[in-house]
Structure 1
Amino acid sequence: MSEVVIGIVLLITLFALLAAGFWVALTLVAVSIVGLMLLGNPRIGMLYATSNWGAISDWSLAALPLFIWMGEILFRTRLSRDLFEGLTPWLSRIPGRLLHVNILSCGIFAAVSGSSAATAATIGRMTLPELKRQGYSEKMAIATLAGSGTLGLLIPPSIILIVYGVAAEVSIGRLFIAGALPGLMLVLLFMGYTSLWALRNEQKVKHETRYSWREKFSALLKLLPVAILVVFILGSIYGGLATPTEAAAFGVVGALSLALSSGTLNVKTFMASLMGAVKTSCMIILILAGAAFLTMAMGFIGLPRMLAEQIGAMNLSPYLLLFFLTLMFIVLGCFLDGISVVVLTTSVVLPMVIEAGIDPLWFGIYIVLVVEMSQITPPVGFNLFVIQSLTGKDILYVAKAALPFFFLLLLGVVLVTAFPSIVTWLPTSMTQN
């Protein structure tokens, strides 16, 4: 049986199982088994055991559950309320006022959680009721939260960057450094759009409070604990003092200290954070194991080599290749979560990308930006589900509200493509120093 016929059968199997509601990890394993059976390979059990061990025994993966646990701990502290109260006085004179709290709070929380869903849920619980109480546009409040919640995927430490680093064998520390400037760029794009929207749409709020400089600087003290934690984690990585795994361990200690000092750490919250981290970590590692088995099966069948040869024969320019890949990732993101998209496609796409002369480090940031777009696209945009549960609104209403931020993320993809130094300058300069 030819590679093309096997590939078509596997594609049909993949979408059939996903449509039937199978877990992503089990779907990947099933597709791999079907592929090896069609190939006539009898050593399925041995290949599965070998690929599993290779996928989950990588030391780099140790950072994954630690960063997830850190986010779970902070999820149960007063962090979101302190972020809101600390930022509010400084944003009272900017067009859009407290709408920017969503953006900046998500940016800051993303730097300590690494999770898009946790960022949107934590900040949304605090900001949405307050913005509604003060008379802000509910649609714009939802939009800023949906768009900014995706920052958890990009701003380091990012769980999805760890997954990509392991799958593509790219330095996780360099990926973290590379994600800093694009993350800041997105924050500025979101704030710029929100300011323009506010200037065009007069926002009449119920309570417009004026703050003295003393109150503003006093509010900054509430941001101090999380600022210290962010600087401690990222500074240790960027300064070469700790590996991402060591920094994650320090982050857990710091998060536990913050929870203890705020009086929110008890046996119940500790166990809840631990079980939340275990469940999420097991889900991600199970997907990684399934993807590793699929990668091995694809290698035996020869599909990645065939695809790379076919695309190479088309003589696509790097920009045209990225254009088609962007369309593919957006479509996949409508049906799969971000981590599944990365682990499912990296092994197949990366050989083409390298063949086209594209830096795998830059491509890691690019793929995360595109996956961020998929977080706010129906029907399986995770951030849409999170915000729907917070607001009770129809998911299509939430998706429509978030549409401008989808296009802002698309603009971010265009900018890093046109100016790749946005991604590569910082890790290159720090390596040279």
Structure 2
Amino acid sequence: MFATPATGVIGVVILFALLLSGLPIGVALGLVGLGGLCLVLGLEPALIKGGVVLVDTLTRYELGTLPLFMFMAHLFFSSNASRDLFDAAAKLVGHRRGGLAYASVGGCAGFGAINGSSLATAATIGLVALPEMRKRGYSDALATGTVAAGGTLGQMIPPSGALIVFGIIAEQSIGKLFTAAIVPGLTQALLYCAVIWIAVRLRPHIAPASDRASWAERWQAIGRIADMILLIALVIGGIALGWFSPSEAASIGAAGALAIAAWRKRLNRAMLMQAFEETLRTSGLILMVIIGALVFSVFVSVTGLTDAIGAWVTGLGLGTIPTLILVAVILLLLGSVLDGLALMLLTTPILLPVVEGVGMSAIWFGIFLCRAMEIGFVHPPLGMNLFVIQGVAKDVSINRIFKGVLPFLASDLLHLLILILFPALALGLPELLGN
């Protein structure tokens, strides 16, 4: 009687209200999903189905990927990875006009590969890069906008926590998602560099040239990050080339990060315990979110909401590209009021069938969704990266930070359109490597 699309819509509205009220994502998803299943199926079947989802999730082999990559990130963070990555990029290109802004993008891309979090990347690189840029006469708008936008690379550059979560809830290969993210991540960084290049050509005074570092200083800076770069290349390259699975790659990454921390004489009991504690805390929170999302997905599926939305979109007869643009608009509108993870978990069970219905793969949608999530980090009213950067540069107004990020936001929208028009940007490399 209650297994109708209308019930699904009511569930989505209740979930949306709970998220806006500040209830934790995992709790909101679980409550709405389980409550909806009780209404549709009855109490006992709902509890049984919820128990099956819980056990299936906790026993999934690929779930071990997440805490291992997080452990790797915490170890690298304790080894001064962010400062070393930015310093190396600054030594290489800092003498050029806008060079420190380029270095910030490079540092964000490098640290994003280690960390996998947009907020952490923006905060960490911001602490290192913003004082340097402002000290050397860079405009506040360019300096803060660069780091706020560059921080979003943490979600795309593999290994990405967001892509791991998507792979689990959409039952897709995490290795294939990582491989598919490489080219979009690099092109996103290149577009940011293009924005900087145009900005400093139009207004040279906003980014003065700095002193050129000697080649001895450059090689010394590169030497400080060589061990991390080699480990990241081994982990990501090994997954892309099929040498080992994502879980095996995560194990290699964690073991390598331990070895690097020991080599740099930063490995001690206190640091190790803190890394374990942070890893367990974050992994537990994400695990709760994943279980809640899967229960909610079952509820949405049982109500027939996904089929109804798919039939409605098909009935519009828009064609592939207009349908994908419509999906992008929906994601951007929701992303203005929901944080990234909430956006992913709310929309995946509803929009994935629509995207697959117009001939696009779930792997492509994972990359597309991740890009839409990233845009939400830099546009109001949520724009979490903007507030993170303001926390680092407290004397810069949020309006000025937003002014600085606007050109990068335009490049993000262009990149999203390119992904729609040229799906091979995400799918070409996995197909080339036979993933």
Q: Give TM-score, length-normalised by structure 1.
A: 0.94
Task: Tell me what 1:414 maps to.
Answer: 417
SS at match of 2:190: helix
1:151-170 map, 5 Å: 151-170=153-172
1:124-180 Cα distance to aligned partner (Å, 9 max, x none) = 111111212222112211111111111111111111111111222221111111111
Report the AA paired with residue 410 of structure 1.
Answer: L
Q: Work out whether 1:31 is the aligned partner of 2:46.
A: no
SS at match of 1:156: coil
**CA separation of 1:55 and 1:320: change in aligned 2, threshold 3 A:** farther
**CA separation of 1:260 and 1:197: change in aligned 2, threshold 3 A:** same
Instruction: Count how many residue pairs are aligned between Structure 1 and Structure 2.
Output: 432
For structure 1, list consecutive stretches of 5 or more residues without a partner in the other structure: none
From 370, 382, 385, the counterpart of 1:383? 385
1:36-185 map, 5 Å: 36-39=37-40, 41-43=42-44, 44-185=46-187
1:11-57 Cα distance to aligned partner (Å, 9 max, x none) = 33123222322111111122224423443622232222122222333
Report the AA paired with residue 83 of structure 1.
Answer: L
Bigger Cα displacement from structure 2, 248-257 vs 309-318: 309-318
Q: Give me the identity figure in percent.
A: 32
CA distance in 2, matches of 1:211, 1:130: 15
**CA separation of 1:121 and 1:36: change in aligned 2, threshold 3 A:** same
Q: Work out whether 1:431 is the aligned partner of 2:434.
A: yes
CA distance in 1, matches of 2:178, 2:369: 14
CA distance in 2, matches of 1:153, 1:311: 29
For the Cα contact (< 8 Å) 2:94–2:100, is it kept in 1?
A: yes
Task: Tell me what 2:223 maps to.
Answer: 221
1:246-261 map, 5 Å: 246-261=248-263
CA distance in 1, matches of 2:272, 2:387: 26
SS at match of 1:203: helix
SS at match of 1:187: helix
1:392-403 map, 5 Å: 392=394, 393-403=396-406
Task: Tell me what 2:328 maps to.
Answer: 326
Q: Work out whether 1:13 is the aligned partner of 2:14.
A: yes
For the Cα contact (< 8 Å) 2:74–2:275, is it kept in 1?
A: yes
1:232-251 map, 5 Å: 232-251=234-253
From 239, 252, 265, the counterpart of 1:263? 265
Task: Tell me what 2:275 maps to.
Answer: 273
CA shift, 1:379, in A, is: 3.2
CA distance in 2, matches of 1:206, 1:354: 48
CA distance in 1, matches of 2:190, 2:211: 25
For the Cα contact (< 8 Å) 1:112–1:229, is it kept in 2?
A: no
For the Cα contact (< 8 Å) 1:25–1:287, is it kept in 2?
A: yes
SS at match of 1:157: coil
1:277-316 map, 5 Å: 277-316=279-318
Q: Give TM-score, length-normalised by structure 2.
A: 0.93
1:365-417 Cα distance to aligned partner (Å, 9 max, x none) = 11111111111123333323322221224444433332221221111111122
CA shift, 1:2, in A, is: 7.0
Report the AA paired with residue 432 of structure 2.
Answer: S
For the Cα contact (< 8 Å) 1:350–1:360, is it kept in 2?
A: yes
For the Cα contact (< 8 Å) 2:105–2:189, is it kept in 1?
A: yes
CA distance in 2, matches of 1:177, 1:281: 23
CA distance in 1, matches of 2:191, 2:48: 50
CA distance in 1, matches of 2:333, 2:81: 35
CA shift, 1:287, in A, is: 0.9
1:262-288 Cα distance to aligned partner (Å, 9 max, x none) = 233322222222222112111111111
For the Cα contact (< 8 Å) 1:287–1:340, is it kept in 2?
A: no
Report the AA paired with residue 223 of structure 1.
Answer: I
Q: CA RMSD in A?
A: 2.1
1:190-209 map, 5 Å: 190-203=192-205, 208-209=210-211
**CA separation of 1:16 and 1:360: change in aligned 2, threshold 3 A:** closer
Task: Tell me what 1:3 maps to.
Answer: 4
SS at match of 2:23: coil
Report the AA paired with residue 87 of structure 2.
Answer: E
CA shift, 1:234, in A, is: 1.3
CA distance in 1, matches of 2:277, 2:160: 20
CA shift, 1:207, in A, is: 8.2
CA distance in 2, matches of 1:301, 1:207: 60
**CA separation of 1:207 and 1:196: change in aligned 2, threshold 3 A:** closer
**CA separation of 1:200 and 1:357: change in aligned 2, threshold 3 A:** same
CA distance in 2, matches of 1:241, 1:414: 33
CA shift, 1:298, in A, is: 1.6
Report the AA paired with residue 384 of structure 1.
Answer: L
